[in-house]
Amino acid sequence: MAAHERRFDPHHRELLLDPARWAKWDPPRLLATLDLHPGESVVDLGCGPGFWTFPLAEIVGPEGVVWALDVSPEMLEALAARHPPRQVRPLRSELPHIDLPDASVDAVWGAFVVHEVEPLDALMREIHRVLRPGGRVGLLDWRPDAVSEEGPPRSHRVAPEVVRQALEAAGFHILPTGWQHEDAYLIQALRPSP
């Protein structure tokens, strides 16, 4: 199946803003593991209507930047309709390509998007390219063996070992996260400094 057939249908974008998701994923707590600071820059890969974009904007503050990247114009319109703060910069880009310069961001966040993108190795190389040396990436996605029946079909999901291998092959160093969930995995990695 082609990657675009696995894309989240923008007609259902309201589901991504369901308060139950907030209770389930607790974005401030999860994003704290990224070790982002005020004034830094971060890319929100596959931002959708901005579930993670707003809490990321809160962390980096008005002096920081959140590149809110999505391929879907409907998703970016839905984000704009929520009036994000000025540090949020919408960016239409089709992953694996990231339309940003080399070593230009401090961190990359991608929630529930990796399983919708191909090829995985090209995505990890692009994340590595746009991150500054010493920058971090955090990827959250559905476990193929999740307990809950929510989420994309199990056949669309990517096993965490596969994501880790692709990150390592792109030159990342995998970091411990100390976070576990019966439905999702979180993988964090560092672009080592030379």
Ligand X SMILES: C[S@@+](CC[C@H](N)C(=O)[O-])C[C@H]1O[C@@H](n2cnc3c(N)ncnc32)[C@H](O)[C@@H]1O
Closest by alpha carbon to 106, among 87, 78, 81? Answer: 87
Identity of the residue, 63 or 149, whose beta carbon is nearer to ligand X in the bound complex: 149
- Footprint (CB under 6 A) of ligand X, residues 60-119: 70-72, 75, 94-95, 111-113, 116-117
Tell me, what amino acid is at 24? K
Q: Which position's Cβ is nearest ligand X?
A: 46
Q: Is the CB of 43 or the CB of 65 nearer to ligand X?
A: 43
Q: What tokens appear for 58 in the block?
A: 């809160």
* Phi/psi-derived region of residue 103, left when phi > 0, alpha when psi is between -120 and 50, beta in every other case: left
Asked if 27 touches ligand X (CB under 6 A), the answer is: no
Residue 95 CA to chain centroid, in angstroms? 11
> What phi and psi, each to the nearest 5 degrees, are found at residue 171?
110, 10
Number of CB atoms found within 10 A of residue 169's CB: 13
**Minimum gap (Å) between residue 192 Cβ and ligand X:** 26
In whole angstroms, how close is the CB of 58 to ligand X at the nearest point?
Answer: 16
Query: 151, 129, 124, 156: which is closest to 139 by C-alpha?
Result: 124
Of 33-41, 47-55, 99-107, 172-180, the window that binds ligand X (rule: CB under 6 A) is 47-55
User: Whole-number minimum distance, CB 48 to ligand X, in Å?
Assistant: 3
Cβ atoms < 10 Å from Cβ of 95: 21
Q: Which residues within the stretch 140-169 sit at the binding site for ligand X (CB under 6 A)?
A: none
Q: Near ligand X by CB under 6 A, which window of 32-40, 46-54, 59-67, 81-89? A: 46-54
Q: Which residues bind ligand X (CB under 6 A)?
A: 7-8, 16, 46-48, 51-52, 70-72, 75, 94-95, 111-113, 116-117
